[in-house]
Amino acid sequence: MLIVDWLVLGAYLLYMVYTGVRLSSKSEGVEGYFLANRSLPWWAVGLSVMATQMSAITLVGTTGQAYADGMRFIQFYFGLPLAMIVLCVTVVPFFYRANVYTAYEYLEKRFDARTRSLTSFFFLLSRGLSCGVIIAAPSVILSIVLGWNQLTTILVMGLATTVYTMFGGVKAVTWTDVKQMGVILVGLAACLWAIVSQLPTEVSFSDALSIAAATGRLETVDTTFSLDKTYTLWSGLIGGFFLMLSYFGCDQSQVQRFLTARSLNEGRMSLIMNAFFKIPIQFIILLIGVLVFVFYNFHQPPMIFNAQEDQKARSGAYGASYQQVEVEYQKAYAARQEAAQTFADADDDQKTSTRQEYLRRQAYADSVREKGIQLVKKTNNGAAFTDVNYVFPTFITSHLPVGFVGLMIAAIFAAAMSSIAAELNALSTASVIDFYRRHFRPEATDEHYLRASKLATGFWGIFACIAATYAGTLGSLIEVVNKFGSFFYGSLLGVFVLAIGTRFATATGAFWGLLTGITTVALVHYFGDIATWLHSDILLSIAPHLQMSFLWYNLVGCAAVVIAGLIISSIGRHKQLSEPAKQ
């Protein structure tokens, strides 16, 4: 980056830190620190909800996902509007009138302390891991921009944000989120303009869309019903619906947002705001990723976007073979560029033939790149490797104009800081309210709980940094974070369905139902591995029929909790009714 970009980034960071520290002085007492004394307007809460969800993963992972796979990821959000309506009618009034700090406090009022603690524990585990992924995303940016190794960047970003969050309460987090959301939107608009303006003059925006459409990257709806396909209309409407219900209705990082609103109706409005604006914003982010793909049809891309792995492959045992493949890739790129230009210039009569030639050369370029990826893996002795998360950062640092680089890096920092701060604040709230105050120090002063909250924030910051060191190798970050959540979210939702939707459920049914749901999701996910380990032909024959995308885990977990919880509750009630007769 040039001095102008550093100045833009530095000005942003200084302003955000100043804002956070200034507002932290207004977070007095436990309710002020955790819930801003329930005094925030709906639009600020709504922007904070969007900023919390729109982490650096969204900007880095989603754009990389769209570069590789196109717009199909948008189906992931198809269940969001309906989920927001359901939550506004059901969960928001329950939590707001219950006068709770955490979503899990309500479960003790409805069931018992055991169910509350177990549910909160699973939230802490899932959100702590997900926070690690959120920290890993900006570390990708810093490792490219500054040339640091990823561990160093994880510690710098993660620990710096942890310290910032320890001093600020939820009011500071919310109002910095509002400003950060503005930076994000300006950065996205600037990036979109920069991509389109740098396409060849003879390639129009419609030509760019035609090239993307030829590869299938503009397909937004897949109507096939298949449990093992992640992004389809049905996985989005059903699996995504249950995921959004769980995330916005049971995850403390989101529940804590609408509990800060100054009235029930304003809490509802903050969620409705997300229902209207989340999908259009996500569409623009995906479109940027697709346009980066088109951009690299006319500008030489690196064979491997991860610069550190590229250098290791060059200097490793397979360096000579790697460089030969790179020469082949450069030739393949030149052929693809020529075919893309011909396809863009073709009239209607020639579109079909030129499209087929372009797709042939695109497939060949992909196959050559795959050779390079395999050599990278061989250099690392088969260790996990992913390149998709480095696509967008590489584009930003290599092709954006002076000043725009700093602005876009600032936008990614804004997305990261808003999400990390909100997640750590929620983890601290659940740790202190659901465990420390409930089980260890129920009668301490507000000052004591505030000190405990800051220590809890520090603990979770360190935990998330450790998780972040592994997250970057697990694949597309946007998928990784939702996989972590899907292991737990459906089961957590099931407990709240039992609590709010049924009068019949008992505390015992809810507790063991939750454990049943978590176990069921784990069995579905690892069934094939278990069958292989047991060398069971019967189980191996069943395994293919249980394969499903992680989005469906949310439905599976919720259904397992509700069914098991109702059965166990029924058995318990039957025993209670039959005991007098036995006497």
Q: What is the pLDDT of residues 68-123, one digit of tens each?
A: 888 988 888 888 899 999 999 888 888 888 888 888 988 998 899 999 999 999 99
Q: What would the two tokens of residue 131 be?
A: 């926070």
| 150 and 238 co-located in one domain | yes
| 159 and 277 co-located in one domain | yes
pLDDT tens, residue by residue, 432-443? 999 999 989 888
Per-residue pLDDT band at 473 (split at 50, 70, 90):
low
| 350 and 431 co-located in one domain | no
| 375 and 422 co-located in one domain | no
Write down the mean pLDDT value for the chain: 83
Helix (H, G, I), strand (E, B) or coil at 530: helix
In a domain, 308, yes or no: no
Last residue of a domain, one of 469, 492, 516: 516
pLDDT tens, residue by residue, 399-426? 888 888 888 777 777 777 777 888 888 8
In a domain, 305, yes or no: no
Helix (H, G, I), strand (E, B) or coil at 40: strand
Nearest to residue 55, comparing CAs of 108, 127, 110?
127
Last residue of a domain, one of 501, 516, 531: 516
User: In angstroms, rounded to a whole number, what is the distance separating the alpha carbons of residues 459 and 323?
Assistant: 45
Q: Which amino acid is at 124?
A: L
pLDDT at 12: 77
| 335 and 197 co-located in one domain | no
At which residue do the structure tokens 């250098």 appear? 311
At which residue do the structure tokens 């409005």 appear? 269
| 358 and 230 co-located in one domain | no
Q: What does R_g of the chain's alpha carbons equal in angstroms? A: 25
Task: Please state the rounded mean pLDDT for residues 246-256.
Answer: 85
CA distances from 76 to 79, 232, 485, 550, 552 (A): 7, 8, 14, 11, 11
CA distances from 318 to 307, 369, 376, 443 (A): 16, 15, 8, 64
| 222 and 350 co-located in one domain | no
Task: Please state the rounded mean pLDDT for residues 503-510.
Answer: 90
In a domain, 544, yes or no: no
Q: What would the two tokens of residue 573 be?
A: 């009630």
User: In angstroms, rounded to a whole number, what is the distance separating the alpha carbons of residues 393 and 387?
Assistant: 11
Last residue of a domain, one of 489, 516, 543: 516
| 258 and 345 co-located in one domain | no
Task: Please state the rounded mean pLDDT for residues 495-522.
Answer: 91
Q: What's CA 424's distance to the chain center, in Å?
A: 15
In a domain, 140, yes or no: yes
In a domain, 166, yes or no: yes
Contact 475, 133 (CB under 8 A): no
Indicate yes or no: pTM above 0.85: no
Helix (H, G, I), strand (E, B) or coil at 261: strand
| 376 and 412 co-located in one domain | no
Domain count, the chain: 2
Per-residue pLDDT band at 326 (split at 50, 70, 90):
very high
At which residue do the structure tokens 């509700």 appear? 562
CATH code where residue 230 lies:
1.20.1730.10
In a domain, 563, yes or no: no
Range of the domain at 66: 3-298+394-438+450-516
How many CA atoms does the CB half-sphere of 78 hold within 13 Å? 20
| 108 and 253 co-located in one domain | yes
Task: Please state the rounded mean pLDDT for residues 194-211.
Answer: 89
| 174 and 36 co-located in one domain | yes
| 371 and 402 co-located in one domain | no
pLDDT at 517: 93
Q: How many residues does the chain have?
A: 583
In a domain, 535, yes or no: no
In a domain, 532, yes or no: no
